[in-house]
Amino acid sequence: MGLPRKYLGQDEVVIRHMHSHVKELFLAGIIAVLLIAAVIAAYVFIPDSAQPWGTLAVVGVSIILAIWKILIPWLTWLTDTYTITSRRIITRTGIIAKNGHDIPLARISNVAYEHDLIDRIFGCGTLILETSADNPLRLHDIPHVEKVHVELTELLFNSDQSDEY
C-alpha cells in the first residue's frame, strides 16, 4: 500500500514507498516464541491444585506482554513509512496520532548513508539527508540503502541539471 494519490501534488510521482527493514521485528518474533512456550509450559506443568487460576494468570500476563512487546511494535513498523517522490521525501509515523515530515528535494544539500556490520548482514542502513536549515534527517533501517542513495542522488542531480537549462 503506497501513499494515497490525494496526498501528491499535480504531476508528482512516487519513486519509492517503504517501511523500515523488517529486522526491527526480530525481537518481537523471539518474544512471541517465548510467550507461546510459556503458555504451553503452563498448561503442561502447573499442578492441578493451581488450576485454573495459575494457567489463567500465565495466559493473562502473556496476552499483556504480547500486546506490549509484539502487537505495538508490529503496528509501529506497519504505520511508519518513508516515501520518495519526484519532488520530496515524505515521512509518516504514528499508530493513532499521525505525524508527518516533508522535505522538498530542492532543499537537500547532501545525501549520505551508513551501515554497520549488522546492517550490512541484513541489507539495510541509515540514510542521512542534510539540508541547509536543520540538523540532518536520519532515516534508520532503510532496506537496500545503497540503491535508495543512488536513486536520491539521481533525482537531485537530474533536478539540478534541468534547472540550469
Q: What is the pLDDT along the chain (165 residues), one digit of tens a residue?
A: 577 788 888 889 999 999 999 999 999 999 999 999 999 998 899 888 888 888 899 999 999 999 999 999 999 999 999 999 999 999 999 999 999 989 999 899 899 999 999 999 999 999 999 987 768 889 999 999 999 999 999 998 775 555 444
Amino acid at 84: I
Cα 39 to Cα 86: distance, rounded to the nearest angstrom: 50
Same domain, residue pair 71 and 85: no
Same domain, residue pair 91 and 159: yes
Same domain, residue pair 113 and 67: no
Same domain, residue pair 48 and 94: no
Cα 144 to Cα 159: distance, rounded to the nearest angstrom: 23
Edge-first strand listing for the sheet containing 137-143:
108-114, 124-131, 137-143
Same domain, residue pair 105 and 132: yes
Same domain, residue pair 64 and 92: no
Same domain, residue pair 47 and 103: no
* Listed residue (7, 17, 23) closest to 115, CA to CA: 23
If one counts the domains in the chain, the total is 2
Same domain, residue pair 121 and 104: yes
Same domain, residue pair 50 and 122: no
Same domain, residue pair 91 and 131: yes
Same domain, residue pair 156 and 101: yes
Report pLDDT for 3: 75
Report pLDDT for 164: 47
Same domain, residue pair 85 and 160: yes
Report pLDDT for 1: 58
**CATH number, domain with residue 118:** 2.30.29.30
Report pLDDT for 131: 87
Report pLDDT for 48: 83
> Does the residue 55 lie in any domain?
yes
Give the end of a domain, one of 33, 49, 76.
Answer: 76
Domain assignment of residue 145, given as a range: 81-164
Report pLDDT for 165: 42
Cα 51 to Cα 143: distance, rounded to the nearest angstrom: 47
Report pLDDT for 134: 66
Report pLDDT for 51: 82
String of DSSP letters for 7-38: GSPTT--EEEEE---GGGGHHHHHHHHHHHHH
